Amino acid sequence: RPGTKEAYERARRSNPLRIRSDGLFVRAVEHLPLVNNVIQQVHRVRGRSEALERARATNPLGRAGFLTQFGEHIPGVADTIRCIHIYRGNAVEAERARAYSLAKLVGRDGAVTKLAELLPGLHLVAAATHELRGDRDEARRALHIVKQWKDVA
């Protein structure tokens, strides 16, 4: 019948499940960890630069991926991810990962240090740590646990 072939071709081109570089299926698969890397290689081999950039931007393990950002919220893991960002030259991402690093948590004004200053017995450890770092004023402040409690209340 006339027009059937044209209608078939039009439907085939607009099929969202058809596997092509900008199809719905490929875009969905680009959000899966590790599968995204395979898709990136396919785009690279076929010379599809726009699709390659889109896959890089949606990579869950990439520098701004959701799994990477989740890992940056876990102390210890954040330090490792920060080192990877620094090695790759991603300064903004490295600074984002530093927010939950162990060094920041146990540093002079870190959350773990502040908690230790409030607990009996551990406040002596916190004071000793401040003294070893050369912070005499912080060490004296950590020794006065009752004043610490009043400051928190």
Question: How does pLDDT run across 70-79, given as a tens digit for each residue?
Answer: 999 998 899 9
The residue to which tokens 């009996």 are assigned = 120
Beta-carbon contacts of residue 115 (< 8 Å; ≥ 6 apart): 122
Q: Across residues 63-90, what is the average pLDDT?
A: 93
- What pTM value is reported for the model? 0.62
Report percent pLDDT > 70 for the chain: 95
Integer Cα distance of 69 and 61 in angstroms: 9
**What does the pLDDT look like over 9-63, one tens digit per residue?**
887 777 665 666 777 788 888 999 999 999 999 999 989 999 999 999 999 999 8
CA distance 145 to 127: 10
